[in-house]
């Protein structure tokens, strides 16, 4: 059965769609069957999938869903056909954001090294905690995105975001041009420029995701 990872943030500008498609590209490169759910009305993930097909690159199956995706008869009817399901949830659309988190096995909350992002995470973390109370194997974590290692903000970002009460992923993604260039090519950094810093970051991130998935599979086997 497929594992559902939702990329969710109540704040725009954190690079959520870019992370979602970069992750999709890396999972595809690893031979996984990938479903990409574009729940953002801007349809950025959908546009990336079309660009990938137009360029002759591997592309995930992509569907559009909204505020009912967590309900029986919606996303759950597709999950079993894929190894990984990735949801790109929109900011400023509370019902869709909530639905994406409730539909997920793993919720990833991207945030930039900013106090504003930390404050904005509060509502999403509340939904995450409720989802965890409903689903015994549910996992959630914060992903630091668009970091600048030269900035003073970067030095304490992990500790600051950790104050939100969720684990912070070991992998942090930098603010690099390869992320933006690869999207235009219908790829992710790990396929567009695998030896670049961005490529290595995405590969490391998906390694972490696979670790979370393996943990869930171990729990399911015991259960």
Delineate the domains of the chain, giving CATH numbers in brackets: 3-222 (3.40.50.300)
CB 189 within 8 A of CB 22: yes
CB 51, CB 58: distance < 8 Å: no
pLDDT in tens, 55-108: 999 999 999 999 999 999 999 999 999 999 999 998 878 899 999 999 999 999
List Cβ neighbours of 199 (8 Å cut-off, separation of 6 or more).
Answer: 178, 189, 190, 191, 192, 193
CA 222 to chain centroid: 27
For the whole model, what pTM was predicted? Answer: 0.91
* pLDDT(221) > 60: no
CA distances from 218 to 108, 211, 223 (A): 20, 11, 9
**DSSP helix/strand/coil, 15:** coil
């Amino acid at each position: 059965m497929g594992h559902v990872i939702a990329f969710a943030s109540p704040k725009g500008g954190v690079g959520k769609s870019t992370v979602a498609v970069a992750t999709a590209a890396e999972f595809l490169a690893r031979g996984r069957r990938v479903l990409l759910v574009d729940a953002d009305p801007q349809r950025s993930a959908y546009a990336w999938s079309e660009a990938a097909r137009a360029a002759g690159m591997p592309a995930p199956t992509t569907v559009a869903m909204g505020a009912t995706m967590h309900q029986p008869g919606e996303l759950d009817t597709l999950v079993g056909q894929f190894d990984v399901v990735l949801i790109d949830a929109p900011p400023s659309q509370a019902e869709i954001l909530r639905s994406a988190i409730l539909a997920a096995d793993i919720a990833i909350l991207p945030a930039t090294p900013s106090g504003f992002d930390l404050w904005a995470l509060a509502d999403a973390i509340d939904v995450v905690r409720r989802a965890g109370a409903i689903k015994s194997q549910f996992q959630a974590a914060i992903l630091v995105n668009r970091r600048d290692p030269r900035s003073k903000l970067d030095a304490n970002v992990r500790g600051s975001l950790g104050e939100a009460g969720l684990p912070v992923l070991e992998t942090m993604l930098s603010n690099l041009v390869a992320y933006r260039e690869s999207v235009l090519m219908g790829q992710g950094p790990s396929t567009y420029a695998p030896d670049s810093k961005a490529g290595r970051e995405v590969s490391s991130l998906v390694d972490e995701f696979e670790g979370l998935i393996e943990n869930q599979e171990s729990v399911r086997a015991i259960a």
